[in-house]
Amino acid sequence: VDVTDPEAPALLGEHRLVSLFQGLGVTVRVRGAQAFLLGDLGLDMVDVSDPAFPYRAGGIAPSVRPLAGLYPDLERAGDAALLATRAAGLEAVDLSFPPLPLLLTTYQETSAPGSRAVSVVKQGVSAHVALDRAGIRTLGVDGDGDGILTVADVCPDEPDPAQADGDFDGVG
């Protein structure tokens, strides 16, 4: 939406979740020309470089993980995302190749019997996860503080946001 004139906002383009459950879209995050549209049953990575023609570049469709996630919130961290899930607690997902997101890990300590993760915020080296019936859980997710999740960091003990890997051996 173009809000240059607040009295007359104009629709520039539109994207709808792949899910048939259109009404369950719960949050959006934008980084550069990518918007991350999170719905209860899926995640769409949308290219918004041309606002008039946004298109789905990838994501997690409900057919891939039916009812496994139920995603109420996400937080970006480098090429990955932390997804609060109502079923499994906090998940880390690699989003570097949008057509095929890769589950990196599930932080089991962010799940509690009878409680569901409903929100996540990454601050510095930690992630804070709100659980609907168990308060908040805090855990370390970025050991060296470079903005890259430890589970996806090629040099987890040395701050290197560029993830330099000169010899391409997977280690910084």
Between residues 5 and 22, which one has the greater pLDDT? 5
The residue whose two tokens read 């990518």 is: 34
pLDDT tens digits, one per residue of 113-164: 777 788 899 999 999 999 888 789 999 999 998 888 999 888 888 887 777 7
Inform me whether the pLDDT recorded for 68 exceeds 70: no
Q: What is the mean pLDDT of the chain?
A: 82
C-beta of residue 34 within 8 angstroms of C-beta of residue 48: yes
Which residue in 58, 55, 63 sits closest to 45, CA to CA?
58
Between residues 78 and 94, which one has the greater pLDDT? 94
Give the chain's radius of gyration (CA, Å): 17
| Whole-number pLDDT of residue 152 | 86
pTM over 0.85: no
pLDDT tens digits, one per residue of 80-116: 889 888 777 888 999 888 888 888 998 887 777 777 7
| Rounded average pLDDT over 23-41 | 76
Number of C-beta neighbours around residue 25 at 10 A:
17
